Chain A
């Protein structure tokens, strides 16, 4: 007899896998930074999916210390010529940049020549902590309508939270994060929010009964690949960040007509209308067809209405065709290294595959016609 579906147990398992996920890395020292021959061997290490590259610097630096040039180090990472954004979680970088997952992932580490026109400055752990806390505040604002639950955290809690992320300690993290009361997301748009602060603040509460829909923090990374791409491994590597569309936009939870749950597809349709929804032009034609059939009600009413419904149906068919044509553009959707089906419940994904700052990071590969 099959075990009944235990949501809590599955969520627990999902969290362990997300936090336990790591990308095997092979870190090579940039040629120009090598001062002693023979050049040092590359350094194998694990990059936690929910972690950040600058947090690996101390251990990488220790490995290469004998061969580094004297002077001030400004460390940055590169993959196939692309400087890596240090504020993007390692797992997301891997999912986005390695169309065909490369194991181990070969990266080049630089200790000089920081590309400050491309990357914002990084002062090690402090910068990463600031980025993490800032993202957490933004996510909190999105979920509850204000950042109070983070701002009101005690110093000790803030430190404990950051330490748990840095050390990839899920239990330590849960200790503090549950007190933030940021979820889980529900299909009816309700989310637990701290009630105490409500009375004290003049802010409009985004809680049950207030009428405002709950929002899910989402960060989309849309990468274009060749339209006729059959095998994802044939995708041309990214050479610059301009080829990636970064969309930092919350998803508003609203009940969908005729659906018992919000699908991933529906969420992506809402956030990336350019790749999913029909062009406005088609909609205008649609309504024109219906209007043109407006005639005085009489016996031919039935004929009229069946004719008008036919026209609408035809318009809908062409809408659907356009939809399919557009849908074909989305080649791949990846979250935490998993290729997701479009039918999967979006809120399950948001609740269980999000990062520790409460953001859901989604990599989307889109087929683009060469112009």
Chain B
């Protein structure tokens, strides 16, 4: 029913659901080095009734501390200076941002779409500039050099609130190329779609995806 990743880089709804389940399972199996939370499946709710077929993937509570690099730079100092400096730690709490990532299926483009948002430690939403400021340099490079990667702010399809999103328009084309390069068996291609896709979009959104996710268990 619709979309064949092997032929044209798209994904059917069934394919999305299957790939999502596989990703959730695989994520739990691998050693995730960063203190990253688990991906969960969230069913879509219509009129308060959770759907049995439609849902999206959520990775919530990803902490990004921007004070980390500062700690590394201060490696020259005595450990005592850093450990004993409670006020320094407290004052840098504003450098801790919390991110939520959602992977939603687009019926229009027949591909997954990444939605994300960030909060200050105090709960206030981050602006696009604030998000971009904290992106690692290679993410910014991807965003500026790639014609398909640009972040916009749009209404989340299921949550009625504005979230940031990576526009889906080029996804089909580059996924087709990416899947052609991999030597995964046809049957596996559908299941491997999301991990492969995530490894690419993750780069643009500053989300580090462990390499182990792509290896079969």
Contact = CB atoms under 8 A, between A and B. Distances in A.
A316 B8 CA distance: 40
Interface string B105-116: 001110000000
Nearest to A240: B160
Contact of A203 (B8, B107, B157, B161): B8
Interface in A166-219: 203-204, 217
Nearest to B51: A274
B108 A245 contact: no
B14 interface: no
Contacts of A224: 47
A157 interface: no
Interface string A36-79: 00000000000000000000000000000000000000000000
Contacts of B8: 203-204
Contacts of B154: 120
Interface centre among B47, B48, B107, B160 (most CB of A within 10 A): B47
A242 interface: yes
A117 interface: yes
A69 to B, nearest CB: 23
A274 B53 CA distance: 11
A272 B49 CA distance: 12
A120 B109 contact: no
Interface residues of A, number: 33
Contacts of A120: 153-155, 162
B18 interface: no
A245 B107 contact: no
Contacts of B80: none
A99 B162 CA distance: 26
A248 B157 contact: yes
A241 B160 contact: yes
Nearest to B167: A134
Nearest to A120: B162
Interface string A107-149: 0000000001111110000000000000001100110000100
B7 interface: yes
Contact of A217 (B46, B108, B161): B108
Interface string B63-105: 0000000000000000000000000000000000000000000
B47 A366 contact: yes
B55 to A, nearest CB: 14
B163 to A, nearest CB: 9
B21 interface: no
A250 B106 CA distance: 10
B160 A244 contact: yes
Contact of A249 (B47, B107, B162): B107
B169 A368 contact: no
B42 to A, nearest CB: 15
Contact of B162 (A119, A138, A147): A119
A250 B157 contact: no
Interface in B106-137: 107-109, 125
Interface residues of B, number: 20
A272 B46 CA distance: 10
Contact of A248 (B46, B48, B107, B125): B107
A116 B153 CA distance: 11
A222 B153 contact: no
A134 to B, nearest CB: 8
B162 A116 contact: yes
Given A204-B8, A246-B157, A116 B125 contact: yes
Interface in B1-59: 7-8, 46-49, 51-52
A250 B107 contact: yes
A371 interface: yes
A142 B160 contact: no
Contact of A141 (B46, B47, B49, B108): B108
Contacts of B107: 248-250
Contacts of A331: none
Contacts of A241: 160
Nearest to B168: A138
A283 to B, nearest CB: 13
A250 B3 CA distance: 14
B161 A118 contact: yes
A204 B7 contact: yes
A280 B107 CA distance: 23
11 contacts: A117-B125, A117-B162, A142-B108, A203-B8, A204-B7, A245-B46, A246-B155, A250-B108, A274-B49, A274-B51, A368-B47
Given A274-B46, A371-B48, 9 more contacts: A87-B155, A120-B154, A141-B169, A204-B7, A204-B8, A222-B47, A246-B157, A248-B107, A272-B46
Interface of A: 85, 87, 116-121, 137-138, 141-142, 147, 203-204, 217, 222, 224, 241-242, 244-250, 272, 274, 280, 366, 368, 371
Closest 3 CB pairs of A and B: A120-B162, A241-B160, A249-B107
